[in-house]
Amino acid sequence: MSFLTVSKVHHTYFSSKTATEALQDINLTIEKGEFVSFIGPSGCGKTTLLSILAGLFQPTAGEVLIEEQDVFTNADLSIGYMLQQDYLFPWKNIEENVTLGLKLLNKNQEESSKVASNLLKDVGLPPVEKKYPRELSGGMRQRVALARTLAVDPKILLLDEPFSALDYQSKLKLEDLVHKLMKEYGKTAVLVTHDIGEAIAMSDRIFLFSARPGRLHQTFVVPEEVRRLTPFEARANPSYSSLFQTIWKELESLEHQQTS
């Protein structure tokens, strides 16, 4: 039995005027400790699928199981979710932001602040516990958001384009950091991205979705020699380029089908 199983998931958004089919018959499995990416043209429902994995809402049909428990009905399953922007609470200082999840779980405050300072160190930040989010740069804030997500020790990390709002340099650094931490902590992670290069550099497997309605089009396995490298080094590997070309062509043909 796989760590995470998505079986026969359909999802349709309803409004008073339209019913939009966002996902159609999605079936996939993810193993423990694996890092996978969802890529595809816009409108392929990858963010919808991520929200369903997070248990934020129930799919119209089908189910998502993590260690054989349904993610929607088991509220105590701990899932980490990182958004495009950091969404740190501006009225809380950094420590209060990082320990937010622990506070909601009624964890001991002293322990929580210890967890926070260790995590801030792990994500490569100087001691900024007492500062407020507005005093930090975008890259630092996203690191704090990562620490906040990791603080509750989630079973799985869902990353919704967390690097897309950053400048290129911060993005590369953060990719390396997330990649390293996931391997160290042995966490399972799902990354949604527009960036083919990022998907190849970080993942073990890549799921390519087609749009309207969102369907799983193809799965790519990243070659072993690229996986062993950090995302930054991976970009210089010859296998990286060839896989990039393959996925690029596949995406092009998908978009071509759509417009014709």
* Structural contact between residues 193 and 199, judged by C-beta atoms closer than 8 angstroms: yes
Applying CB under 8 A, among 87, 121, 225, 242 the residue interacting with other proteins is: 87
Applying CB under 8 A, among 13, 89, 232, 248 the residue interacting with other proteins is: 89
Applying CB under 8 A, among 1, 17, 18, 75 the residue interacting with other proteins is: 75
C-alpha–C-alpha distance, residues 103 and 92, integer Å: 13
Interface region with other proteins, contact rule CB under 8 A, candidates 24-32, 98-106, 113-121, 209-217: 98-106
Under the binding rule (CB under 8 A), the answer on residue 132 touching other proteins is yes
Applying CB under 8 A, among 54, 136, 196, 202 the residue interacting with other proteins is: 54
Under the binding rule (CB under 8 A), the answer on residue 80 touching other proteins is yes
- And the tokens for 4? 């995470």
What are the CA-CA distances from residue 80 to residues 101, 105, 131, 151, 158 (Å)?
A: 10, 14, 24, 9, 6
- And the tokens for 199? 């998907």
Q: Which helix (H) or strand (E) holds 20?
A: strand 19-30
Positive/negative CA dihedral, 90, 94, 96, 102: positive
Applying CB under 8 A, among 119, 152, 174, 196 the residue interacting with other proteins is: 152
Applying CB under 8 A, among 56, 65, 165, 251 the residue interacting with other proteins is: 56
Q: Of the two residues 68 and 76, which places its CB atom closer to other proteins in the complex?
A: 76
Nearest approach in angstroms of CB 76 to other proteins is 7
C-alpha–C-alpha distance, residues 191 and 157, integer Å: 8
Under the binding rule (CB under 8 A), the answer on residue 90 touching other proteins is yes
Using DSSP, state whether 62 is helix, strand or coil.
strand
Residues found near other proteins in the complex (CB under 8 A): 54, 56, 75-76, 78-81, 83, 85, 87, 89-91, 100-101, 104-105, 132, 148, 152
